[in-house]
Amino acid sequence: MDRSDLSEPLFALEAHRADMGETTIADLFAKDPQRFADFHVALDDILFDFSKHRVDRVTLALLLDLARAAKLEKRRAAFFAGDIVNPTEYRPALHMALRNMRGTPMQAAGFDVMPEVLAARRAMLAFAEDVRNGRVRGATDQMFTDIVNIGIGGSDLGPAMAAEALSPFIAPHLKLHFVANVDGADLADTLKGIALERTLFIICSKTFTTLETMTNAAAARKAVAAKLGEAAIAAQFCAVSAAPEEVAAFGIAADRRFLFWDWVGGRYSVWSSIGLSLAIGIGAAQFEEFLRGGEAIDRHFVEAPLARNIPVLMALIEIWYRNFWDYTAQAVIPYDQRLARFPAYLQQLEMESNGKSVDLAGTQIESATGAILFGEPGTNAQHAFFQLLHQGTEIVPVDFLVAVRPTAANLDQHRLLLANCLAQSAALMRGRPQAEVEAQMRAQGVSEEEIASLAPHKTFAGNRPSGTFLLRQLNPRVLGELIALYEHKVFVQSVVWNIDPFDQWGVELGKGLALQLAPLVADKNAPLDGLDGSTTGLLAQLRKWSAR
């Protein structure tokens, strides 16, 4: 981050980083026993505790100076005004309109999008209710029991994550399935366990040309036609797309085509008709609660002072670690099995958005941008990669997420889950000094020789930062709030880094090469001229084994 307009706050933060020296998080608590009171923000049914991060009041003040120097408030206003914030694709990014429940005007390049948004939402939710209640049926006049969402990227990760997170709210007579991988095993394994005559397929593709999605859609269409006849396609399929002509050519009736717009990025599309599978599962009323959760965070992001603004704080703390402490990764650990797909969802949201190496002007960025994000539900993660988090050479800040009240789960087990979550964040911060380990071993009667040998292995350095999101209960509204918090966190980071978080040109190169290589994989006699040595060798071996 070498922009001249940021030089003063950057210099101040570098100096502050040096001043902090060996001050630990535990030291910060020792100096201020009431630290938690000033280092948490409560909003509706979410509490964000950032007291276990390696920040003090000076750190936060300097980070807020950095945000203001980057003109965050001005850029935020332009974002919500529908200005072109995705300059490489000449588009606004107005996914907030999709969860605008009041219908107040929102502009995309000078055009009020809300009449279209509200009409599309009404049509989608009405259809969802009709499917859910059996008023819309399949070709053999049977109620749908299985919903298969065919998409990829945001058209899969969003609804798949949300459906798993909100599984207790899904109607008991319905099962939701999600097919994304062009690997035929994905679709084949899904179709194996369902009755096609009771299955509704939802094809989700903005352009209706996405290779993986349309390959799976064609295979599903073929399976339905083979069993139920070509005429059944209209009854068993619907689509969500911004390309109505392509949808019509597939054979999907006009009243089963649901719209979204080019100003909706794929990774922000779960709020749109891309959420149709979720809306069928949980019902229109609960889907609207999901939208209200996102809308509540939009208001918070716009209205709350920066110093008490949760997505702003999330973003700035990660920038502090990424750019001033050289921490390369971020872990998200939901202590909720139903949030198992949430880290994967955030991987796309954060790494596709801010995984950029040039700024808005196309100039190479000299400092680090997006971190590597990973995660897994606790307590599974404790028995996997937490060893590295506690004693590894890399320091990885962690977001913990846990609900106070369980949803359709055993209360005693949930209390144990809560204890584990709180214990892990405390252990990461406190660690266990070698003197404490040695004293404990002596109290157990261990010999001095064995103490000398084993104590270093049982010592934890501690001082590993984490934040905790305490949820009252995981429900549609709270899930909407969580997703929107991370969305706006990504935007704030992009403003400070001066990058475009709404394009994803890095995805395109591999897709283009795959289209070039597909004929060479299919035709064993096609020449391999012009390829690199590795690809040529791999294709040659592939052809050899395929022939056998």
Nearest to 29 by CA among 437, 432, 429, 400: 429
Burial class (CB in 10 A: 0-12, 13-18, 19+), 185: exposed
Are 459 and 392 in contact by the 8 Å Cβ rule? The answer is no
Kind plus residue range of the DSSP H or E element containing 112: strand 111-112
Residue that the structure tokens 């709030």 belong to: 481
* Measured distance CA(493)–CA(317) in Å, rounded: 10
Backbone conformation region of residue 469, classed left if phi is above 0, alpha if psi is from -120 to 50, else beta: beta
**Strands 46-49 and 466-473, bridge-based pairing:** antiparallel
**Marked catalytic residue, from 197, 295, 318, 352:** 352
Backbone conformation region of residue 386, classed left if phi is above 0, alpha if psi is from -120 to 50, else beta: alpha
In sign, the C-alpha dihedral spanning 450, 451, 452, 453 is positive
* Measured distance CA(380)–CA(236) in Å, rounded: 39
The verdict on whether 383 is a catalytic residue reads yes
* Measured distance CA(370)–CA(304) in Å, rounded: 25
Backbone conformation region of residue 547, classed left if phi is above 0, alpha if psi is from -120 to 50, else beta: alpha
**Strands 107-108 and 111-112, bridge-based pairing:** antiparallel
Give the list of residues 6+ apart from residue 345 with CB closer than 8 angstroms, or none: 157, 158, 161, 483
SS3 179: strand
The letter for the amino acid at 520 is L
* Measured distance CA(343)–CA(350) in Å, rounded: 10
470 forms bridges with which residues in the sheet?
Answer: 47, 402
For the chain, the straight-line distance linking the first and the last C-alpha, in angstroms and rounded, comes to: 55
- Structure token pair of residue 212: 């993986």
Give the list of residues 6+ apart from residue 528 with CB closer than 8 angstroms, or none: 520, 536, 539, 540
Give the list of residues 6+ apart from residue 179 with CB closer than 8 angstroms, or none: 148, 149, 150, 156, 186, 187, 190, 216, 220
The verdict on whether 16 is a catalytic residue reads no
Burial class (CB in 10 A: 0-12, 13-18, 19+), 172: exposed
DSSP category for residue 442: H
* Measured distance CA(386)–CA(392) in Å, rounded: 9
Phi, psi of 476 (to 5 degrees): -55, -45
* Measured distance CA(518)–CA(535) in Å, rounded: 13
* Measured distance CA(449)–CA(454) in Å, rounded: 9
Residue that the structure tokens 């913990």 belong to: 400
Active site residues: 352, 383, 511
